[in-house]
A and B are shown apart, each in its own frame.
Chain A
Amino acid sequence: MTALLGLLRKEAYHILRDRRTLAVIVWMPIVQVIIFGYAIRTDVDHVRLAIVDPVPDEDTIALRGRFGATDTFQIIAVTPRVSTLEELFSSGAAQGAVVFEAGFADHVARGLPARVMLVTDATEPNTGSMVQNYALAVVQRYEAELQTRRPGGVRIVPEVRTAFNPTRASSNLFVPGLMAFVLTIISSLMTAISLTREKETGTMEALLVSPLRPWQIIVGKVTPYLAVGFVSVIGVVLEARLVFHVPLRGSMTLLLGEGLLFILVSLSLGILVSARTSSQRVAMMAALVGTMLPTMLLSGFIFPVESMPWPLRAASVVVPAKWFVTVARGIMLKGIGLRYLWRETLVLAAMALVLLTLSTRSFKARLE
C-alpha cells in the first residue's frame, strides 16, 4: 500500500512541477468553458435582412417596421426588385430577406391569403434555421395582431425558402470547414513535427553546418507538404462530391488556388511554431493549440462567428481558417468568384506574405 501511495505522490509531483502540463490542466478547461460558453450561442442577433417590397403599402411598411424594431434583425436594404437579392446574398451583405407580394395590404383587407416569402442564406450552419424561425415568429405575431383588430379573415401566408443550400444537408455546410481543418493538420502540424524531428534526432545539425541556406532548408522541408496539401484539397472535394453530393457551383481552379494560399499560410505557421522549440512534443502541442483549436472554434466551421461576443469575433479575424472557410463556402455553395471574394483572398495573400517572411527569418543559420 505504501508503494502505491508513493507512486501516487510521485505522479502528483510530476504534474505539479511541469509548468507546461500544469498550464494545460488548469488553463485549458477555463479557457474552453469561456470560449465554448460564448461560442455556442443559439440565439442570433443583428441578422442582416433585406426587404423586397415592390409596392409598399400600409401593411408592408408596418410589417417592415416590426422587423426593424427587433434586435434580431437589422434591415440593410430595401429594394423593389427581387433580382437584387442575388447580388445581396452572393456578396454576403444579406443573411436573410423578406419578399412581399404586390398588393399585400389589399389582400389582407379582403381576407385573401397575403403572401410573404422568407428567404435565408443557408450556408451558415446554425443561422439558417434560426433566422427562419425568428422571421416566422415576427410574421405570425403581426398576423395575430391583425386578427384582434379585424377578427376572422386575416391570413398571412409565409413561404420559406433557402438560398444556396436547398437540401440543407449538413455535409454541405461542414465540408468547406473540414477542408480547412484537414489542411491545417497537414500543413501546420506535420510541418512543425517534421522540423522538430530533425532537431531531436540531431540531423538538423548536419544540415545547418552545410552550405545550405535557411531558405533552401525550409523550401526543401515544406514543399512536399505543399504537394500533399494540394492533393488533399482535391481529394476532399472529390469525396464530398461523389459520396455526399456536395455541390461545387463555382470554379474548381479558384478553389484550388485559394487552397494553395491557405496551405502557404498554414505552413508558415507550422514553421514559426517549431522555430522556438526542438521538442516534437512541444511543437505538436503548440500547433494544436495555436492552429487547430482556433480553426475548430473560431473559423465558423461549426460555430457561427456572428453570434459570438465581440472579443471572440475580433480574435477570429486573425484566424486564417475563418477567411478560407468563407471562401470555400462561397465557391462551393454560392458559386461566387473573385468578384465577391477579393477581400478574403487579399487577406489570405497578405497573411501568407507576412508569415512566410517571418518564418524564414525565424529559421536561423546556426543552432541559436
Chain B
Amino acid sequence: MSDAVVVRDVVKRFGSTTALAGLSFSVRDGELFGFIGPDGAGKTTLFRIMATLLVPDGGTVTVLGRNVVAELWTLRTRVGYMAGRFSLYSDLSVEENLRFFASVFGTTLEREYEQIAPIYTQLEPFKDRRAGALSGGMKQKLALCCALVHQPEILFLDEPTTGVDAVSRREFWDLLGRFKASGLTTIVSTPYMDEAKRCDRVALIDRGRLLAVDSPAAITSSFGRPLLAVRADDRYAALKALRRYPNTASVYPFGEALHFTDARPALAAADVARDVTGFLEAGGLGNVTVEPTAPTVEDSFMLRMGAPEGDEKGRAQAE
C-alpha cells in the first residue's frame, strides 16, 4: 500500500504567528484519516497547503506522489476539496452549483450522476432551491457533492461537520464511509473529538503541533494511567473538593461524571478509587461512586495538550 499524502516537517507562519510548527505524517491510500483539534490548531492552514492553495514556509508536502508546490495544476484536477466555510454560491440553486463545478472540471452532471448518487439522491428533491436557503446539513451535503463531482482520487474536507446538528453529522459520516468503501482516500478535519472513532487513523493537532498520530483505539489504549469516573450527588461540590485534594493530577467534568487522574500514575485504579471515595465522603458528599472508565480520544487529547494558552500553569511552564 502506498502513501496518498506524505508530509515532512511542514512549517507555516503568518507574520509573527506560527500556524504550523514542523509537522510530519503520512496518509495511506484508501484511508479515512481525521485531524482532530480546536480552532486555531492549524487544521485549515494544513488543509490549504495540501490542497495547493498555500505555499509552506518550510518542509515538503507530497500528495498522490506529486509535490504540492511544483505540480499544483496536475494535482488540481485530481483533488477534491471542501473549504471550512460554506463556499458555494448561495444565489445559485443546488443543481446550478453542481453543474458549475462539474463544468469547471471538464465534465457534466449527467456523466457523473452515478458516482455522486448516494448523496445527490438526498438533494435531488430540492435541486431548484437556492443553496442559501438550505439547512446546514443539506449545505454540507451539497458541498460534498460538488467536491466529488469530478471523481477525485483524494478528498480533503475541512471541518465539514462544524455548526451542523448531531443527526446531520452522523449522516455525513455515514456517507463518507460509503465513499471510503469504494477506495477513495479521505482526509477530514473536525473539532468534535467523538468523531475520531469513525476514522481509520487520526492525528490530534493543537496549536500547530501533532500530539499523536494513530488509530483511535491505539491512542486511547496508550493513555498510560488509570482514568476514573467520579459521581456524586452534588457534582460541583465534588469538583471543588477534588481541586483541593492533594493527589489530583487532573479533574474535569465529563458528561454526568468527573474524570479524574491521580498524581501517582503508578498507583492501581482500585487504590485510587478507594482514596478518592474516602476523601469525598469525608468531605460530606453523598452517593459517591468512583469507577475506572475507558479513556476517550478527548481524554487523551486533554492529557497530551498540556495547559491551554495562558493558563497559570502554562505561564509558569513558559517562564
Contact = CB atoms under 8 A, between A and B. Distances in A.
Contacts of A368: 54-55
B76 A210 contact: yes
B83 A205 contact: yes
Interface string A346-368: 00000000000000000001111
B53 A366 contact: yes
Contacts of A1: none
Interface string A20-31: 000000000000
B76 A201 contact: no
B32 to A, nearest CB: 21
A367 B53 contact: yes
Contacts of A365: 72
A366 B87 contact: no
B172 interface: no
A367 B14 CA distance: 13
B45 to A, nearest CB: 10
B72 A367 contact: no
Interface residues of B, number: 25
Interface string B239-268: 000000000000000000000000000000
Contacts of B48: 367
Contact of A211 (B76, B90, B146): B76
Secondary structure call for the A interface = loop
Contact of B86 (A202, A207, A208, A212): A202
B101 A209 contact: no
Nearest to B85: A202
B186 interface: no
A3 interface: no
Nearest to A206: B87
A253 interface: no
Contacts of A207: 104
A17 to B, nearest CB: 19
B146 A206 contact: yes
Secondary structure call for the B interface = loop
B301 interface: no
Interface string B45-63: 0001001111100000000
Contacts of B76: 209-211
A2 interface: no
A366 B73 CA distance: 11
A201 B87 contact: yes
Contacts of B73: 211
Contacts of A203: 87-89
Contacts of A366: 52-55, 72
Interface string B71-109: 011001101010111111110000000000100111000
A209 B51 contact: yes
Nearest to A207: B104
A206 B52 CA distance: 12
Nearest to B51: A209
Interface in A184-227: 201-203, 205-212
Given A211-B106, A367-B48, A206 B83 contact: yes
Given A209-B52, A212-B104, A366-B54, A201 B90 contact: yes
B245 to A, nearest CB: 44
Nearest to A212: B104
Interface of B: 48, 51-55, 72-73, 76-77, 79, 81, 83-90, 101, 104-106, 146
Given A205-B87, A209-B83, A211-B104, 18 more contacts: A201-B87, A202-B87, A203-B87, A203-B89, A205-B53, A206-B146, A209-B51, A209-B53, A209-B79, A210-B76, A211-B73, A211-B106, A212-B104, A366-B53, A366-B55, A366-B72, A367-B54, A368-B55
17 contacts: A202-B83, A203-B88, A203-B89, A205-B87, A206-B81, A206-B83, A206-B88, A209-B53, A209-B81, A210-B101, A211-B106, A212-B104, A366-B52, A366-B53, A366-B54, A366-B72, A367-B53
